[in-house]
Amino acid sequence: MEDTNSLIEQRRAKLKSLEAKGIFPFKNKFTPDIGAGVARAKFETGELAELTKVSVAGRITAHRDMGKSMFIDVRDQSGRIQVYAQKNTLGDDLFHTFTHLDLGDFVGVSGTLFRTKTGEPSVKLESFTILAKALRPPPAKWHGLEDTEIRYRQRYLDLIANPDVKDVMLKRSAIIHEIRDFFHARHYVEVETPAMQAIPGGAAAQPFKTFHNALGCEFYLRIALELYHKRLLVGGIDKLFEIGKNFRNEGLSRRHNPEFTMLEAYCAFGDYDTMMETVESLITTVAQKVLGTLKIEHKDAAGAVLKTIDLTPEWKRARYKDLVREKAGANWFELSAAERRQRAHDLGAEIGKEYEDFEVTGAVFEKLIEPTLIQPTFVTHLPKELVPLAKLSPDDPTTVEVFECCINGQEISPGYTEQNDPIAQRATLEHQAGGEQQKLDEDFLVALEHGMPPAGGIGIGIDRLCMMLLGQESIRDVILFPQLKPK
């Protein structure tokens, strides 16, 4: 097998040969009149008849030399079609130029549709234009690049070699498109809020720091969208949403990327029930429109179905404390802090020495309960310590009117009845800040003092939603360019 350097030299030699003939394959313009995959599909269904003239453009992904004739596959975003070139049709000069084409080159072709003896829809070539000469060969495993290091670092090779990967990314785009359509249909206003913030708020997470030279001060990349959205509720924008990037300077895993895409939406005069209906309707609508089904199959590498997630409404609702009692014992909340810690340890939950009592219970939920919630479940009434921006539950002041929508064993969406009492909100945030005044977002608290309507709010991790809907088990497989350690 020839080494890569030798193949590169061969391709450069072909480029020089083309240039010597006055052909410059990086300056040409070609306007296709139909997609390669579209032409193939329409010919198969009879929408396009034999001998119909077409012009398609794309990358060469297969190349078969038969001597006085050649076959190539041309692929674009819509799919592929076979192209048949004959020496006696093109003439000696053009056919010789055609032999300079390699796998990976971009080419524009024009000709007539026909079917080969084997029944393959094809284009009989009449003319062509070299649009880009690939000076490096494609991956060794052109159809099915498997090296994850290459796949993530050089995503362009992954997209070239693995049509399934490209399909996931195109469906991700369609999912985001349908999310926007859903909210626009409900008369929500799409907004944009600052990604650089003087005080990072709206979540408990480690931020990334940056420095603004002109202003001479530190800023933080946002960890959440929430506090600016509530300012907009104060300002009279009653229904709003944003799809934007958040940044958290924390670990990487199958479910975590330091830079991730978040949807947040707020509805004035709503509450956590309002937002549960919104989440359920949104996800089922998007699934039906993008995938055509509410039954989502997750498969292994061999194609065997591992699990089926059924999004059919109405989704299960369960109280947080009830789920904890089912797993950790009916008397869990009557135990002392030391007894809870010991029982959590016995059950196999990882408990840090510095964990407060509510965090011990949280570890039981996150490690032992949440992973079992494969089917859609709204877990409601979480401990008040976990969500300081939510309202207390009237029937249990140790909890807040909060839900976590769990699907596929992970949280897809939190939502809650927003705290709009400025005095109660200040007290909660001061307690959370532990007396460090610089951590308080005073402008946000001043905004609340001007009056914020009662409201419900949600967040949905777009990456995790795409993982669930598209049957992917790693967040890196739904992000075009995931964060990686530099080589």
d(CA 307, CA 297): 6
Mean pLDDT, the chain, whole residue set: 93
Query: What is the share, in percent, of the chain residues with pLDDT greater than 70?
Result: 97
Q: How far is CA 132 from CA 73, 74, 107, 433, in A?
A: 16, 13, 7, 57
Structure tokens at 437: 């005044």
Lowest mean pLDDT among 148-152, 383-387, 426-430: 148-152
pTM of the model: 0.92
Lookup result for tokens 């409404």: 313
**Stretch (H or E) spanning 417:** strand 410-417
The more confident residue out of 101 and 142 is 101
Domain at 4-138: CATH code:
2.40.50.140
Q: What is the pLDDT averaged over residues 217-223?
A: 94
Among 199, 235, 165, 241, CA closest to 479:
165
Buried b (16+ CB within 10 A) or exposed e, 341-378: bebbeeeebebeeebeebbbbbbbbeebbbeebbbbbb
- State yes or no: pLDDT of 35 exceeds 50: yes
Assigned superfamily of 159-315+375-477: Bira Bifunctional Protein; Domain 2 (3.30.930.10)
Residue 58 pLDDT: 97
d(CA 97, CA 90): 10
Q: What is the pLDDT averaged over residues 286-304?
A: 95
Long-range contacts made by residues 116-123, C-beta under 8 angstroms, separation at least 24?
A: 116/82, 116/84, 120/82, 121/39, 121/40, 121/43, 121/44, 121/81, 121/82, 122/71, 122/81, 122/82, 122/83, 122/84, 123/39, 123/54, 123/56, 123/74, 123/81, 123/82, 123/83, 123/84
Residue 437 pLDDT: 60
457 pairs with which residues across the strands? 266, 416
Confidence class of residue 258 from pLDDT cuts 50, 70 and 90?
very high
Residue type at 278 in one-letter notation: T
Confidence class of residue 337 from pLDDT cuts 50, 70 and 90?
very high
Confidence class of residue 108 from pLDDT cuts 50, 70 and 90?
very high
Domain borders along the chain are 4-138, 159-315+375-477
d(CA 15, CA 10): 9
Confidence class of residue 144 from pLDDT cuts 50, 70 and 90?
low
Structure tokens at 316: 């299960």
Q: In the structure, how many helices (H) and strands (E) does the chain have?
A: 15, 19
d(CA 242, CA 188): 10
Confidence class of residue 421 from pLDDT cuts 50, 70 and 90?
very high
Q: What is the pLDDT averaged over residues 98-121?
A: 96
Backbone phi, then psi, for 220, in 5-degree steps? -125, 140
Residue 103 per-residue DSSP state: T
The more confident residue out of 459 and 204 is 459
Whether the link from the prior residue into 314 is cis, omega within 30° of 0, is: yes
Confidence class of residue 206 from pLDDT cuts 50, 70 and 90?
very high
Residue type at 318 in one-letter notation: A
Residue 278 pLDDT: 98
Contact by Cβ (8 Å): 474, 482: no
